[in-house]
Amino acid sequence: MITTKTPVLIRMHDQDNVAVVGNDGGLPAGTEVAPGLTLREGVPQSHKVALVDLAAGDVVRRYNVVIGYAKEALPAGSWVNENRLRLPDAPSLADLPMATAPKPDWAPLAGYTFEGFRNPDGSVGTRNILAISTTVQCVSGVVDFAVKRIKETLLPRYPNVDDVVGIEHTYGCGVAIDAPGAEVPIRTLRHISQNPNFGGEVMVVSLGCEKLQPERLMPPGSIPLTVGTSAAAQPKDNESPWGVLDVVCLQDQQHVGFASMIEHILRQAEQHLKRLNVRQRETVPASELVVGMQCGGSDAFSGITANPVLGFASDLLVRAGATVMFSEVTEVRDGIAQLTARAATPAVAQALINEMDWYDQYLARGGADRSANTTPGNKRGGLSNIVEKAMGSISKSGSAPISGVLSPGARLNGQRGLVYAATPASDFICGTLQLAAGMNVHIFTTGRGTPYGLAACPVIKVATRSDLARRWHDLMDVNAGEIADGKQTIESMGWAMFELLLDVASGRRRTWAEQWQLHNSLALFNPAPVT
């Protein structure tokens, strides 16, 4: 553990003219942090110190990137914080390097496996969950009631099924459903119902009069045609035929009273539970992992410890043939030139630019820009602005070529390797959109701390600092702060993360969020108007 007795400054690049205080609790004024460098004022943990005398207007460089310009003279030893920096303009989307970075010469990583649930469409689930989709918020109370009743009365009879989850949301009515942008929330809901952890079983609860009619949510062809991998696994009794949408409509004439609705939902749910229950975990290659990476409640340690660990693990996953998604448009916007250079092809680079451009316009329509991203907690954690935050966030993506780009709410369609799934940075919206893309395991890094979890998918939470990991010892699954403490390296923790992913995917290990059943609500991204 780093104590205040041993001053620690963390510098990311030898061109940087600031470094970050590593000590828990920060360092007081007068501390000699390096030979000839004394703090002119107290500097909190994870905040920046000027290493040289900076004049007003001078560039401030971290990660060898200009993160801002000094608003005033900042002599060496000064605290460099958000009030003393001017934000650079967003980089232009013109004349970017297109797929120019050399491709890494990596040996494939063979022989790694996990125990997963193979689905009829070839995807693999890490959990075996019955999802009940909904067309509209109006039905949520009824679905909540039904899910509770299913868990109490039906689920104990189907021990191979892990859970029952209502896919509830605020969309479906009172929205401009034909407006440009409405396709984003609609396809998000459709694709979530097809998430690998739901085993290809789709059932929908509808109100009846809503704008998002069941056939619009799940048009013909979006329901899996075959379920089960053997004849023995085929359903018996009078179950719904394959490929036909299973809808319980609350306004249907057949329903007289609330009990009738609940009984109908339970009857239909049981058909799906029967089929899910015959599924068994089988050994599958690590290439079947679809890992969604995200950060939230970030601090200046995010880019020093946890996110580089994810980057290392991401490269291992790519070498193993798996799929890794990174997201959060406003947190990569300032690094767009790095990303377009790393694109596998010029077409992928152009797709990245198109997503940035769409999001710039989306923010501008709302009278905002990327600078609206940073939070009070980010700033307390030493992140002065969105440029500095973005440089830490991007390090999650490691060094693999970017092989594909997904628009918000789109689903993976054969892409493998490192994929950029364009989403807002909002934790719940990003997680929701990564579920729609087909994520089967989620990794989430945090410096300030968040108890974030999802009902549909295991979430591995990684603390960026040991202080957070100690205080939240029963919420954080991994302590990447051990890197700053000198106990681990990015490489050793990256390998441990890769192994942990296989264990969590196999169900051998439950995350803290699973253990406590901490689930955030799904949050749709709806760029279209409400009425």
Write out the residues near Ca ion by the rule CB under 5 A.
Answer: 296, 425, 427
Q: How far is the CB of 327 from Ca ion (least distance, A)?
A: 8
Q: How far is the CB of 306 from Ca ion (least distance, A)?
A: 13
**Token pair recorded at residue 256:** 């007289």
Q: Would you say 24 or 427 has its CB closer to Ca ion?
A: 427
Q: Would you say 168 or 427 has its CB closer to Ca ion?
A: 427
Total residue length of the chain: 531
Q: Would you say 373 or 488 has its CB closer to Ca ion?
A: 373
Q: How far is the CB of 434 from Ca ion (least distance, A)?
A: 10
Contact in structure between 329 and 405 (CB atoms under 8 Å): no
Q: Would you say 320 or 523 has its CB closer to Ca ion?
A: 523
Question: Measuring CA to CA, which residue among 392, 517, 417 is closest to residue 459?
Answer: 517
Q: How far is the CB of 390 from Ca ion (least distance, A)?
A: 12
DSSP assigned state of 367: T
Q: How far is the CB of 129 from Ca ion (least distance, A)?
A: 23
Q: How far is the CB of 389 from Ca ion (least distance, A)?
A: 10
Amino acid at 499: E
Q: What whole-number distance in Å separates Cα of residue 348 and Cα of residue 176? A: 31
Calculate the alpha carbon distances from 358 to 328, 329, 335, 409 in Å.
13, 10, 16, 14
Q: Would you say 198 or 326 has its CB closer to Ca ion?
A: 326
The phi, psi pair for 48, rounded to 5°, reads -95, 150
Q: Would you say 225 or 368 has its CB closer to Ca ion?
A: 368
Torsion angle, alpha carbons of 475, 480, 485, 489, to 10:
150
Residue nearest to Ca ion (CB): 296
Contact in structure between 43 and 50 (CB atoms under 8 Å): no
Q: Would you say 288 or 427 has its CB closer to Ca ion?
A: 427
Q: What whole-number distance in Å separates Cα of residue 529 and Cα of residue 524? A: 13
| 222 burial via Cβ count (<10 Å: 0-12, 13-18, 19+) | middle
Q: What whole-number distance in Å separates Cα of residue 373 and Cα of residue 383? A: 11
Q: What whole-number distance in Å separates Cα of residue 90 and Cα of residue 336? A: 10
Region of 366 (left: φ > 0; alpha: ψ -120 to 50; beta: rest) is alpha
Contact in structure between 53 and 37 (CB atoms under 8 Å): no
Q: How far is the CB of 524 from Ca ion (least distance, A)?
A: 16
The phi, psi pair for 443, rounded to 5°, reads -120, 135
Calculate the alpha carbon distances from 397 to 308, 339, 389 in Å.
8, 10, 14
Q: What is the per-residue DSSP string for 483-520?
A: HHTTS--HHHHHHHHHHHHHHHHTTSS--HHHHTT--P
Q: How far is the CB of 294 from Ca ion (least distance, A)?
A: 5
Q: Would you say 423 or 440 has its CB closer to Ca ion?
A: 423
Q: Would you say 194 or 302 has its CB closer to Ca ion?
A: 302
Q: How far is the CB of 291 from Ca ion (least distance, A)?
A: 15
Q: How far is the CB of 282 from Ca ion (least distance, A)?
A: 33
Q: Would you say 205 or 422 has its CB closer to Ca ion?
A: 422
Q: What whole-number distance in Å separates Cα of residue 522 and Cα of residue 519? A: 9
Q: Would you say 246 or 427 has its CB closer to Ca ion?
A: 427
Q: How far is the CB of 452 from Ca ion (least distance, A)?
A: 9
